[in-house]
Amino acid sequence: MLHVPKLNHWMILPVVIVALACLAPALPVRGQLLAESQPEIQRPNIIIVMADDMGFSDLGCYGSEIKTPTIDRLASEGLRFSQFYNCAICGPSRASLMTGCYPWQVGQKPGVSIFANLNKNCATLLEVMKANSYTTCAVGRLDMAVGGDWHDPAQIAKHVDRFLGSASGGPGNYYKQVKGSPWFKDGKVWDRPAGAYSTDLISQYVDDFIASTKDSDKPFFLYVSHYAPHWPLQAEKKDIAPYRALYQKKDRQTLMRDRLRRQIKAGLIPEGTTLPASMLNPKADRAAKVLPIERMAIHAAMIESMDRSLADTMAALKKANKLQNTLIFVFSDNGASHQLNFDRAVPDGVRPGSGESFLNHGSALAALSNTPFRNYKVSNYEGGIASPLIAYWPAGLKEPGRIEHTPWHIADFMPTCLELAGIQYPSAFEGRQLIPLVGTSLKPVLNNDADQEASRVLVWPKAIRAGDWKLVLGARPELYRIDQDRNEQMDLAAQFPDRVEELQRLHKKHYSPE
């Protein structure tokens, strides 16, 4: 499924291989020969920007009332995907993104800690890009940045030139370091400054990294893994206030209907789509009763802070003369979270959204974020696994302004980045024998080629999609036609039992957690 360029004949002559072996006996990646031997290929800089727990409709260009002018501009001058999928929860999604494989193949099967190290059968994007002459940088959540112990800054430093962030999961607190969640900076434990907002720290570091590349001819690979808008809901007072005023005037159900109407008008969602009753009227939880408007306003402010961070990144790219040949992807690791595990009452005198408060989103807010889809993070319904995806690349994207409707997966980033960089995926890396990629390169889509893969099979622990059909495996199998019923309201299992059996067999073939 991976499209890679073929080697020129002169590159594989035995005499050349012998000579190279004498000069560099420890080439870590086969593809290094390809990348270094074709200087005529103008390899792009690549920036991957991933939000944490952002819903499908949380960006303005995906229907939201939240102000995201920078991302909206990238969408209008780039490419939007209407059917891009992740792995429903942070650890598996990051494992798939970094390795180009399904998460259960590389150490993130159900029941395993989402903070576990990867298996020794894979290599990460950061590792392979650096081994092939890319300058690498990782900022924010450092989960699975490398195939070794990614909790150890010295291990990350082997394969990542620059990095800042934490390697212990979510944000904990956006204004200070919390126990058990140390921050690392460029190979060492870092004393994170108290009072600084995490999204701003990420932005400042990214700008500094881009500035450092100005006089370099080497391309760079930059992984920006935001904490926002993952709980706790925390944001700057000045950013929250405008949204509080907005949400006092419009109720959540009206906002959901407005988002869906804009999605349909934009062509992201089919005409005739309606909102699931379970999302319009979700099961009551504490968050629906305590500070509901405040939660919505803080969440919106967190989304806007990421957009502002990306605006700074764009300015830094322009200043460093790197904008034209930089490919930027923006997406989320899973759907919005309805979890309330750690929700706490706000103490008297404490501003909700400050570093002294700890609020979760809850199902009502998550339902708004996931408009128009059913269910939430962790689920294998569309609300758990569907994400916005935007691709922007002034020098390389053909026919900008399009919407791509064929299904794509978070595992596709590895083969995409390698093909665009002229790198052959290695069979071995640092003594590890690597399993094949399951991802497919997005290059044909970026080029607006006609031969896109419409009948692709995608697999999750509790679901499978083959072409336009999707089977969700719960207490009983549920069958949906995604092209006609994107938010899974009409179960067709009883009408098409043969299709159910076919998809069950296909799921069993592809899903192998052992």
Give counts: helices (H), strands (E), the chain: 17, 17
Give the C-alpha separation, 490 to 480, whole Å. 7
Say if residues 360 and 244 touch (Cβ distance below 8 Å).
Answer: no
Q: What is the DSSP string of 390-405?
A: EEE-TTT-SSTTEEE-
Say if residue 397 is in the same domain as residue 511.
no
Say if residue 54 is in the same domain as residue 177.
yes
Say if residue 427 is in the same domain as residue 498.
no
What percentage of the chain's residues is helix, strand, coil (to nearest 5)? Answer: 35, 15, 50
Residue 402 lies in a domain: yes
Q: Among candidates 42, 10, 3, 61, which has minimal Cα distance to 331? A: 61
| Residue 180 DSSP label | T
Report how far Cα 282 is from the mean position of its chain's Cα atoms: 26
Instruction: Looking at 57-157, list the stretches that DSSP marks H as alpha helix, in order from N- to C-terminal side.
Output: 69-76, 90-99, 125-131, 153-157
pLDDT score recorded for residue 12? 36
Q: Among candidates 307, 271, 377, 325, which has minimal Cα distance to 69? A: 307
| Boundary of a domain, candidates 404, 422, 454 | 454
Cross-strand pairs, 409: 85
Q: Among candidates 355, 347, 50, which has minimal Cα distance to 177? A: 355
Residue 321 lies in a domain: yes
Residue 155 lies in a domain: yes
Residue 287 vs residues 234, 253, 339, 340, 362: alpha-carbon distances, Å: 15, 16, 10, 8, 5
Residues 93-126 as b or e (16 or more Cβ within 10 Å = b):
bbbbbbbbbbbbbbbbbeeeebbbbbbbebbbbb
| Amino acid sitting at position 36 | E
Residue 463 lies in a domain: yes
Say if residue 488 is in the same domain as residue 441.
no
Residue 3 lies in a domain: no
| Boundary of a domain, candidates 405, 432, 454 | 454
pTM (2 d.p.):
0.92
Say if residue 470 is in the same domain as residue 448.
no
pLDDT score recorded for residue 4? 38
pLDDT score recorded for residue 10? 34
Which three-class secondary structure state does DSSP give residue 182? Answer: coil
Residue 462 lies in a domain: yes
Say if residues 304 and 239 touch (Cβ distance below 8 Å).
Answer: yes
Say if residue 503 is in the same domain as residue 409.
no
Say if residues 133 and 144 touch (Cβ distance below 8 Å).
Answer: no
Give the C-alpha separation, 95 to 440, whole Å. 16
Number of domains within the chain = 2
- Residue 205 sits in a domain whose CATH number is 3.40.720.10
- Residue 483 sits in a domain whose CATH number is 3.30.1120.10
Query: How buried is residue 8: exposed, middle or buried, by Cβ count under 10 Å (0-12/13-18/19+)?
Result: exposed
pLDDT score recorded for residue 455? 80
Residue 471 lies in a domain: yes
Secondary structure element (H or E) that encloses residue 329, with its range: strand 326-332
Domain boundaries, position 490: 455-514
Say if residue 71 is in the same domain as residue 173.
yes
Secondary structure element (H or E) that encloses residue 314, with its range: helix 292-319
Cis bond leading into 372, ω under 30°? yes
pLDDT score recorded for residue 363? 97
Say if residue 436 is in the same domain as residue 469.
no
pLDDT score recorded for residue 95? 98
Say if residue 115 is in the same domain as residue 230.
yes
Give the C-alpha separation, 133 to 33, whole Å. 11
pLDDT score recorded for residue 435? 98
Which three-class secondary structure state does DSSP give residue 441? Answer: coil
Give the C-alpha separation, 290 to 360, whole Å. 11
Say if residue 479 is in the same domain as residue 450.
no
Say if residues 410 and 93 touch (Cβ distance below 8 Å).
Answer: yes
Cross-strand pairs, 137: 162, 222
Mean pLDDT, consecutive 10-residue segments, the chain of 514 residues? 38 35 35 38 92 98 98 98 98 98 96 95 98 98 96 96 90 92 94 96 98 97 98 98 98 98 98 96 93 98 98 98 98 97 96 98 98 98 98 96 96 98 97 97 91 81 97 97 96 98 97 83
Say if residue 132 is in the same domain as residue 39.
yes
| Amino acid sitting at position 436 | P
Residue 222 lies in a domain: yes
Residue 414 vs residues 2, 4, 132, 409, 424: alpha-carbon distances, Å: 9, 12, 14, 11, 11
Say if residue 450 is in the same domain as residue 463.
no
Give the relative orientation of helices 413-421 and 90-99 as an angle to the nearest 10 degrees.
30
| Boundary of a domain, candidates 454, 487, 505 | 454
